[in-house]
Amino acid sequence: MTARTHGLVAGEARVRRGLGIARLTLAVIEIVALIGNYEYVLGFQFAVANFYSYFTIQSAILLVLVLLVAAAFAFVAPVDPPWLGVVRTIVTIYVLISGIVFGLIAWQSASFGVRVDVPWSDTLLHFVMPVLVIVVWSVDAVLAINPPLPWTTLGWVLVLPVCWLVYTLWRGGQVGWYPYFFLDETLVGGYWGVAGCCFAVLLVFLGLTWGFTGLHRMLWRRGRVRRTPGPQPSPDSEGTSPDSDESAVVMP
């Protein structure tokens, strides 16, 4: 190993440790926000019973788990497995959309006669964390150490939202309560109104996933050129050589 190669390897190891620390820090912040949000809703009995039905809470819990796994990989492995990049991106989109939807609900709540309070925990969950997660995600893409994001990410992003939507609509019919007003047919002009809102949100999921995937591949390509000048493989061919063990994206 040449001195230059050794320096690159040592530098990448330091970068990986930095990524691990950043991911672990975000997980801790999200845990604090979740605990604070749960303590806040303790004063509202109906909210305690329905706490885990919010997509925000489910995506936040999922984010914590993914960040902890990603931090572990960053500390012990030279690169993340391809599937982890897919999962991290999908969860990042979930958190971002949760923030967007919450912001729209808070903005339009008065029009529907709904009161929406924004305690510090909601500020962390819906506004601060999405920004921080996107920053760390972007840094990861720019560094181009981990595999590029495949376009097949588009095929996975709707799995959780669709399952959550089916469960939420069924549960709402049973208990007479919906976590978001646009799922209540009495507030949005009937079932067609609910269908229209849901369709629009699902399109946002797909649109953001398409944009994030394209952005990641562009940032990865540019980062790769900076790290290793000369002819570069395309993101599609990265990790597909016979000598690579990461030749396919396998979802958990």
Category of 230 on φ-ψ map: left (φ > 0), alpha (ψ -120 to 50) or beta: left
Domain boundaries, given as residue ranges, for the chain: 3-227
Give me the pLDDT at residue 182, please. 86
Give me the pLDDT at residue 244, please. 39
Q: Give pLDDT tens digits for 140-192.
A: 899 888 888 999 999 999 999 999 999 999 999 888 888 888 898 888 889 99
Q: With a cut of 70, which residues of the chain have pLDDT below it?
A: 1-10, 45-46, 108-115, 227-252
Give me the pLDDT at residue 13, please. 85
Give me the pLDDT at residue 117, please. 75
The Cα 47–Cα 69 span in angstroms is 30
Give me the pLDDT at residue 12, please. 80
Give me the pLDDT at residue 241, please. 38
Note the pTM of the prediction, 2 decimals: 0.82
Give me the pLDDT at residue 145, please. 81
